[in-house]
Amino acid sequence: MKSPAHRSRDIERQAGYLKPEHCAPPPPRSSSGTMWFIRDSCGIVCGIITWLLVFYAEFVVVFVLLLPAKNVAYSFFNGLLFNGLAFLALASHARAMCTDPGAVPKGNATKEFIESLQLKPGQVVYKCPKCCSIKPDRAHHCSVCKRCIKKMDHHCPWVNNCVGENNQKYFVLFTMYIALISLHALIMAAFHFVFCFEEDWSKCSNFSPPATVILLILLCFEGLLFLIFTAVMFGTQVHSICSDETGIEQLKKEERRWAKRSKWMNMKVVFGHPFSIAWLSPFATPDHGKADVYQYIV
């Protein structure tokens, strides 16, 4: 009995599924022609909510936790640290959302293109029946992006994009920085609660005591929820990178046909070669250098 993965491969060989009229149209793209953006209503709403939650945390941290503090050095240091991490988190989110994750050109499954590949006798290429594209190894079709994505890990509505070969670095940085600012906000809120219990509540905030308590409780709830979620996601992504196996490949238990590399080399494939401070920057595009993205077992 064939596995689901093998059955899908057999379907992709059937020529009847490759007719252009059977292909779904691609989602609307930005008119600029350079910026990738998926116009999915759910993803757009999730992206806006993400930014609003970060801005809410900024508001509470600055106006409730830091400005009323008597220690100027404490306020300056924590304000600089929190705002810097929040900026990097939002920048990483924007790069993960607006970077082409590795979409395969749509509709390139033509006779002329296949002939140009100069395939060896017995060599098999797979064609996606949904977007009429030659499907590279380790590529999967996304029903939301309506494209085949190279090394697709999953589609994340919070970044309104697939996590794939070209934007996985930015997604990992996004989860890391969100986890860090969540932890930082929880620590500052805990110190603030202790200070307010020891002092008069009216002196530890520019807001009324009830409003201060509500704002802090909501911040703690948000911080704890996102700390757990993003820390788990960050750990999952790092494990996926080190093992060189995407989330979909793990879920489908696909046969491994690519060469095994060291964990450090797998990290360089995603974050760039060689190791540098640019690994932590959402503004630096990874330079693979000697890190070969695709190495297959012959």
> What's the rounded mean pLDDT across residues 230-235?
97
Whether 16 has a pLDDT exceeding 70, the answer reads: no
3-state secondary structure of 269: helix
Residue of 248 and 5 predicted with greater confidence:
248
> What's the rounded mean pLDDT across residues 44-51?
97
pLDDT digits (tens, 9 = 90+) for 81-109: 999 999 999 999 999 999 999 999 887 77
The per-residue pLDDT for 297 is 42
**Residue 159, in any domain of the structure:** yes
Please state the pTM of the whole predicted model. Answer: 0.84
The per-residue pLDDT for 8 is 39
Range of the domain at 91: 39-100+151-247+257-291
**Residue 66, in any domain of the structure:** yes
Residue of 155 and 207 predicted with greater confidence:
155
**Residue 132, in any domain of the structure:** no
**Residue 13, in any domain of the structure:** no
CB-based contact 47:160 (threshold 8 Å): yes
The catalytic position among 156, 162, 196, 204 is 156
For 100, phi then psi, to 5°, come to -60, 120
pLDDT digits (tens, 9 = 90+) for 132-147: 888 888 899 999 998 9
Number of structural domains in the chain: 1
Whether 61 has a pLDDT exceeding 70, the answer reads: yes
The per-residue pLDDT for 24 is 45
Of the listed ranges 90-99, 116-125, 254-263, the least confidently predicted one is 116-125
Share of the chain above pLDDT 90, in %: 55
> What's the rounded mean pLDDT across residues 69-73?
88
The per-residue pLDDT for 239 is 95
Burial class of 188 by CB neighbour count within 10 A (0 to 12, 13 to 18, 19+) = buried
Of the listed ranges 166-170, 239-243, 256-260, the least confidently predicted one is 256-260
Q: Which of 27-36, 180-189, 207-216 has the highest mean pLDDT?
A: 180-189
pLDDT digits (tens, 9 = 90+) for 275-297: 899 999 999 999 865 555 554 44
Which two structure tokens, joined as six digits, stand for 134? 């030659």
The per-residue pLDDT for 34 is 66
**Residue 265, in any domain of the structure:** yes
**Local confidence band at 35 (pLDDT 50, 70, 90 cut-offs):** confident
**Residue 140, in any domain of the structure:** no
Q: Report in angstroms the alpha-carbon separations of 118 from 115, 121, 235, 298.
A: 6, 9, 41, 18
- Write down the residue that tokens 């945390």 correspond to: 57
Alpha-carbon dihedral sign for residues 261, 264, 267, 272: negative
Which two structure tokens, joined as six digits, stand for 285? 């595009």
CB-based contact 196:205 (threshold 8 Å): yes
d(Cα 166, Cα 155) in Å, to the nearest integer? Answer: 14
**Local confidence band at 255 (pLDDT 50, 70, 90 cut-offs):** confident
Of the listed ranges 32-36, 202-206, 243-247, the least confidently predicted one is 32-36
pLDDT digits (tens, 9 = 90+) for 121-132: 777 778 888 888
The per-residue pLDDT for 97 is 97
**Local confidence band at 30 (pLDDT 50, 70, 90 cut-offs):** very low
d(Cα 118, Cα 187) in Å, to the nearest integer? Answer: 60
Q: Look up residue 180 and give its amino acid.
A: L
Is 42 marked active-site? no
Whether 4 has a pLDDT exceeding 50, the answer reads: no
**Residue 198, in any domain of the structure:** yes
**Residue 83, in any domain of the structure:** yes
